Every structure is written in C-alpha cells, then in structure tokens.
Amino acid sequence: MTDRTISRRTAFKGAAAAAAGLPLIARAGSAMALPAPADTAAGMIASLHDRIYINANENPHGPCLAATKALAALPTLSGRYGMSFGDRIAALFAAQNGLKPENVVAHPGSYVPLRAACLAFSSTEKPIAYAEPTFDSGFRGADGKPLTAAITLPVGPDHSPDVKALLAAAPTAGVYYLCNPNNPTGTVTSREDILWLLANKPKGSILLVDEAYIHYSTARSCVDLVAQGADVLVLRTFSKIYGLAGLRIGFVCGRPTCSPRLTALPTTSCRCPPPSQPKPACSIPPSSPPARPRPTGSRTGSTAGSTPARSSTSSRRAIS
C-alpha cells in the first residue's frame, strides 16, 4: 500500500462518511459501521427491519419470498447431513450456466474456495498477485500477513486493476486475482483485459475471478471461459444478490483437474465422488488434515516499472 492508494478500510470510512451524509439513511440512523450487539436470534431478527451493516456487504432485503418458502422445510431436515445436496445444486448451477457438473463444486460460501485457491495455487515462490484495494482478507492469516506470498499494486486512476502493470509487477505469480466488479471500488475489469491477462500470464498459473457482485453490474461473467477449459477459476455466491449470506452457499467453477487441489485442503467441503468410484459413497476430508506451517514471514517492499508494487511473503510450504 502506498500513500496515494486507498485501503478497504479507508474506502469503507469514506463510504461510511458518504452514507452519514445521505439524508435517508442518516435520519433513520440505520447505517451501521460496526456490528450492533445483535448476536442473539431476537436481536438479529429485530435488526432486519432497521439496520444495514454497510461493512458486512449483506443484502438488507434478505432472501426473496420463493427462497423463504423453500427454506421453510429445512429445519426438519437439519438432523441429516444431506450430502448429495451440494452436488445437486452444483449440477443445477452448471446446467444453468453452460457448464458440466464436473466444472462446479459447491462450498459453504465463496470465501472457502477463495482461500483454498490461494493456498492451493500460490506459494512463497509463486505469489498471489492483485491490485488493491480489493477483497483480500481470504489471502491473509489472522496476523494480517499473507498466507503464502503476495504481490500487490494500487488500482489504476479509474480504480480498476491495471492488468498489464499487474503482470509486469508479478511475472511469476501462481494466482492472479480479479474481483469483478471489485469490492470495494465497484469497478469492472473489461473482458478485453481479462482475456489479455489469460493469454499472457505464466504457464501453470491461474486467473481467479471473484464474481460475488456480478449481478449488480453489466460485467460479463467468465463462466464461459471455464467451459472453454481456460486456466480460470470463477467464484460465485448466494450471499449477495440472493440475500442468503447466513446460509453459506458458494461455488467454484473450473476445470475438473482444479477441484482435487481445492478439495484436498482442510478448508473445503465434502464432495461426493462420481458413481464409478468405490464406496464409501462420500469422500469426507480426513479428520487429521496434514499440518500446515503457521505464517511467520515478514513483508518486504519492491517496485516494478513505474508502478509501486508490494511484495509480501510468509514461510509456507508450497502445495503443488
């Protein structure tokens, strides 16, 4: 982060200040910068009608009526694991988006595969590269340091990532992350820029496209690139436009060969194997996942070309 850049936090402060200036919200006193003490069911239900938590990016309207009706049957099923449901909803999503079932894996939210992709495809040798500010919390540990290694540079003058500068700053990255539209700047990376990055990125790396807010924009989704077999992972979630953040439903779409690298990680959900595979019917992640070294590294600055980039590392074994 350089002096002339904005972080998600400062961007949020700006948004909060702007919100405070909006007569409607200010008069209602309903735009909350920090979570209110609503950590009881009754408190949360009360907050549904008069609180917008602008730092949580939730949909204040919640789910639509059809979803609420469908959810009404769930409490009675809560005692069951319902393991096939993940694959069934993934298959439905695949059919609706021109993908094959093996291209889509359902997860408890898109944050899980976001983090898993960082761990699976980046390492200290092959960092994760992105323009900031963006939604980067999934790439950091509890200490705020990168889980693997990160090369970042500021968004361009129009607040969208400059993909050419990004590749110049991080020519050997394992993951190039684009949030499209970007959280928190709301800017869209053009299709042309996405295709350029795909065509020019190093062999073996992946483009991770986070489409959490795609429905709020005119941006074209990258799921068709998944169908074409490109080196791309696309993340989608039910948390935003569908107002189902608490239900934890998200997808990662990619080539089938990408899935094992993601699902092998202890962060990911259980997935049923294809019918041809032997019993047991569902592959549950091992109860004792392989130990992952804790991040202990330090940050170092670096520059690339005329655009200041930041390189941060932590000592972590590469997952290959």
Chain positions contacting ligand PLP, by CB under 6 A: 57, 109-111, 114, 135, 179, 183, 210, 212, 237, 239, 245, 250
Residue type, 153: L
Compute the C-alpha angle 169/172/176, nearest 5°. Answer: 75
Amino acid at 143: D
Question: Which residue lies nearer to ligand PLP by CB, 184 or 308?
Answer: 184
Nearer to ligand PLP, 109 or 174 (CB): 109
Least distance CB 207 / ligand PLP (angstroms): 15
270: DSSP letter: P
Residue number with the smallest Cβ distance to ligand PLP: 109
Q: Between 33 and 168, whose beta carbon lies closer to ligand PLP?
A: 33
Q: Which residues contact 36 (CB under 8 A, 6 or more apart)?
A: 43, 47, 51, 53
Minimum CB–partner distance for residue 208 and ligand PLP (Å)? 11
d(CA 238, CA 317) in angstroms, rounded, equals 32
The CA distance from 54 to 34, in Å, is 8
> Cα dist. 19→24, 31, 48, 295 in Å?
9, 7, 18, 37
Could you tell me if 166 and 154 are in contact, meaning their C-beta atoms sit under 8 angstroms apart?
A: no
Residue 237 CB, nearest approach to ligand PLP (Å): 3
Of 25, 271, 267, 307, nearest in space to 138 by CA: 267
Closest distance to ligand PLP from the beta carbon of 109 (Å): 3
C-beta of 93 vs 308, nearer to ligand PLP: 93
The residue among 130 and 135 lying less far from ligand PLP, judged by its C-beta, is 135
**Shortest distance, position 114 Cβ to ligand PLP, whole Å:** 6
Query: Terminal CA-to-CA distance of the chain, rounded, Å?
Result: 29
Closest distance to ligand PLP from the beta carbon of 6 (Å):
16
Shortest separation between residue 306's beta carbon and ligand PLP, angstroms: 28
Residues 271, 287: Cα–Cα separation, whole Å: 15
Structure tokens at 239: 């948390």
Nearer to ligand PLP, 175 or 212 (CB): 212
Identify which of residues 271 and 308 has a Cβ nearer to ligand PLP in the complex: 271
